[in-house]
Structure 1
Amino acid sequence: MKPKTILNLSLAILMLGVAQIEAQGIPLPPKTLVKVYPEESDELLLNPGIGFTTFQRFNGDDLNSGMLWTEGFPIEYQYFDGDLTNKDYPQTTIAYFRVNWRFLEVEPGVYNWEMIDKALKTAAERGQTLMLRISPYEHDDEKDVPVWYRKIVGEESKNKILSGKWRINPENPAYLKYFGGMIAAMGQRYDGHPDLEAVDVSFIGYWGEGDGMELLSKKVRVGLINKYLDNFRKTHLIFQPLNGDATQPELLARGTNIAAYWPDGTHNGEGPNMRQLGWRIDCLGDMGIWDDFTHMLDVYPQDIVRSGMKDAWKKAPIAMEICGTFLTWLERQKYNEEIVDYIFEQALKWHVSSFNAKSSPVPEQWSPLVDEWLKKMGYRFVLRRFTYPSQVKRQGQIPMTSWWENKGVAPIYKDYKFAVRLKSSKHTTVLFTDADIRKWLPGDIVYDEKLYVPLNTPTGEYQVEIAIVDHVTQSPRVKLAIEGVNSEGWYPMGKILVTD
């Protein structure tokens, strides 16, 4: 359905009951204001940076079977037949991979960049961006620190455990030098890459999740985080302060210098490049898997507040990971729809943008719940009202107003641009607004702008179209939750006449 328009002709005409007419195809009298009220769409939208992620896979790959998954090893590539469909799993815009340090830094200072380059290229080809974590080690010897690093440090911490999930002693200066050096090298090569969605911060402990972080000296603790902050200034960083192992999450988060500022506008004073980081949790849905606590009831609600990270979502993305898999929930935990719906609602309350379901199939009976969850996850922009004048002169001003609603639970975190396009059969002009859509938090947004028509714009009638676009390619990047999108991804608002 095309958006409806209202013409403010005069009070007399309005009294005659001419309140709504279609702008398309109707010559507009001079000095009228075109009002557009787009029709909201309930469509499930596939948008950048939000929704499910594939895990150790790309769109179109086969999913994991059963309750298990793999991680840490070098990226493997399945045969791709050109079909991007994910059977029994939502389509995604993010491919999340976790690879261990030993497979990236093959010798001191010698990096297997080809592995990351290929992953970035493949993700782009599959309609995704790459989320990446390089972990220092896991619990198995085959996933230990690099062989060459083990030769440098010997068997430290494998026999004498300083913390329950340490395989090496991070206080050894070699750790900050080499593992920290790898972080720095990766940032210098990939920071700001358009196909790199985010870097999942990794420090110490199994999977790099930070077990025992509070035991580190300030020099090592601040040194590790600054390797990320100094070298990733454009790409978003997400951090895991709430993993269930952290008995003092407020020390873990604040002690690692994660936040540039706290909700009251202060910061902890450590580090030269402090800014807000996002966070992730890795056991969403734990309602009783462990004997002594549950993440959903005993850890996350309290520690999101205690850690000082409850407002991080306003500036950086919140990523969540399923506890087990959906098959675990269904067959082992015996969750019903009510429990699943509760878990999803809690994630929305914590402002989730992306969710790693470990590329495990979604049970058919839960698909409707998942679809409704996806409609609220991250951002969802509805244009409610848009106005502009029916005529404008070349080099003249187009005053426009807009009222939006973000019906999601988070803002968008990439600097896409709200643009207006004037299009005719002979000429197209794209006008960029100054709107910073990263500040469009959930709720109502009012944005007004005055745009100028370039002198080289030929006179004549143009279609007025709007979109949220990539500022380099000028192509639409974000689907809106309104009807009427055209084949190029723009949303027609009506006609405008450009005159001399």
Structure 2
Amino acid sequence: MKKLCMYGLIAAILLFGAACSDGSTAPPEEKPAVILEEIDEVLPNPFKGFVPWVGSVNTIYQTKLQYKTYEWRDVESQEGIFDWSAFEQNWGNIALTGRRVGFRISAVTPGSGNAYDIPDWLAAKGVALRGYSIDGHQGLAPDWDDPLFLEAHRNLLLALGARYDGDPRIAWIDIGSYGFWGEWHVYLNDTLAASQASKQIILEHYFEAFPNTPKVIAFDDDFATAYVAAHGGG
């Protein structure tokens, strides 16, 4: 027992001597310092700043982007027949000025002046329409869980993507289609909410149709925001 204690004492002395042989301890590791330089110029960060609506002009604030929401009923007034004229006119004019566009598809646009914003033919097929009221506007919203709605939505997105995915005029596509103004909320109208399964199907349509175009989404729905972020969107 005494021998074991002696060996332990010797080992401790040797370790202490090794640590203090030069009379000092090792200096702490220095962390790199970054000095930020203050500038007065506008930082040219991609997609930074305000984004005005398509067609608006601001001579004071020069922006590189413009934005537009399109109602589904105006894009596909007949099943399988798509009217791209509004896209081409808007985007062609924007491209001439060196700008790019972000855009969204909406299935419910309160204040649009329409009773509902899905195509008439889709309503005639039997997709349920349910009343809503928000911000002084009343109208009819589709049942987002209806298989007829989801099938028609996929066909719309695939046609849109086949024509415009990767188009250099597009800065990003806003993942819309669900909720008021395509903003992924049904504020004060909770009975209209889609199931999580249907929300995911709608999200998948965008990623299937636009693999090469940046995709963003409003942050009003936690599930959708997390899904988009996990799949490389913003």
Give the letter for the 2:222 counterpart.
Answer: E
- 1:54-69 matches, within 5 Å, as 54-58=52-56, 61=57
Distance 2:52 2:110 in 1: 24
- 247, 250, 258: which is aligned to 2:222? 250
Match of residue 98 from structure 1: 69
Distance 1:191 1:154 in 2: 28
Say if 2:53 and 2:66, in contact at 8 Å, map to a contact too: yes
SS in 2 for 1:158: strand
Say if 1:46 and 1:91, in contact at 8 Å, map to a contact too: no
Q: Does 1:240 align with 2:218?
A: yes
Change (3 A) 1:40 1:220: closer
Change (3 A) 1:53 1:252: closer
Tell me how far 1:219 sits from its aligned partner.
Answer: 4.1
Match of residue 205 from structure 1: 179
Distance 2:123 2:206 in 1: 23
Say if 2:127 and 2:146, in contact at 8 Å, map to a contact too: no
Match of residue 169 from structure 2: 195
- 1:192-341 matches, within 5 Å, as 192-211=166-185, 215-242=193-220, 249-254=221-226, 257-260=227-230, 275-278=231-234
Map Cα deviations across residues 349-401 of structure 1 (whole Å, 9 max, x no partner).
xxxxxxxxxxxxxxxxxxxxxxxxxxxxxxxxxxxxxxxxxxxxxxxxxxxxx
Tell me how far 1:97 sits from its aligned partner.
Answer: 0.8
Match of residue 124 from structure 2: 151
SS in 1 for 2:73: helix
Higher strand share: 1
Q: Does 1:171 align with 2:145?
A: yes
Tell me how far 1:171 sits from its aligned partner.
Answer: 1.4
- 42, 58, 65: which is aligned to 1:44? 42
Map Cα deviations across residues 322-373 of structure 1 (whole Å, 9 max, x no partner).
xxxxxxxxxxxxxxxxxxxxxxxxxxxxxxxxxxxxxxxxxxxxxxxxxxxx
Say if 1:165 and 1:206, in contact at 8 Å, map to a contact too: no
Identity of aligned residues (%): 25
Distance 1:118 1:48 in 2: 24
Distance 1:165 1:206 in 2: 11
Map Cα deviations across residues 430-476 of structure 1 (whole Å, 9 max, x no partner).
xxxxxxxxxxxxxxxxxxxxxxxxxxxxxxxxxxxxxxxxxxxxxxx
Change (3 A) 1:150 1:108: same
- 1:352-371 matches, within 5 Å, as none
Give the letter for the 2:211 counterpart.
Answer: R
Q: Does 1:186 align with 2:149?
A: no
Give the letter for the 2:121 counterpart.
Answer: W
Tell me how far 1:43 sits from its aligned partner.
Answer: 2.6
Tell me how far 1:179 sits from its aligned partner.
Answer: 2.1
Distance 1:124 1:251 in 2: 35
Give the letter for the 1:197 counterpart.
Answer: A
Map Cα deviations across residues 134-173 of structure 1 (whole Å, 9 max, x no partner).
11122355152222222222663138xxxx9971111111
- The two structures have a TM-score, normalised by structure 2, of 0.69
Say if 1:202 and 1:210, in contact at 8 Å, map to a contact too: yes
- 1:81-92 matches, within 5 Å, as 86-87=58-59, 89-92=60-63
Say if 1:104 and 1:111, in contact at 8 Å, map to a contact too: yes
Q: Does 1:114 align with 2:88?
A: no
Say which one has the larger Rg: 2
Tell me how far 1:241 sits from its aligned partner.
Answer: 2.3
Change (3 A) 1:219 1:233: same
Distance 1:251 1:45 in 2: 33
Distance 2:197 2:174 in 1: 22
Tell me how far 1:203 sits from its aligned partner.
Answer: 3.1
Distance 1:96 1:209 in 2: 14
SS in 1 for 2:198: helix
Say if 2:70 and 2:106, in contact at 8 Å, map to a contact too: yes
Match of residue 98 from structure 2: 127
Distance 2:64 2:75 in 1: 24
SS in 2 for 1:153: coil
Say if 2:128 and 2:146, in contact at 8 Å, map to a contact too: no
SS in 1 for 2:77: strand
Tell me how far 1:174 sits from its aligned partner.
Answer: 1.2
Change (3 A) 1:134 1:251: closer
Distance 2:212 2:178 in 1: 24
Distance 1:154 1:171 in 2: 10
Distance 1:240 1:51 in 2: 17
Distance 1:56 1:129 in 2: 10
Distance 1:197 1:166 in 2: 31
Say if 1:259 and 1:277, in contact at 8 Å, map to a contact too: yes
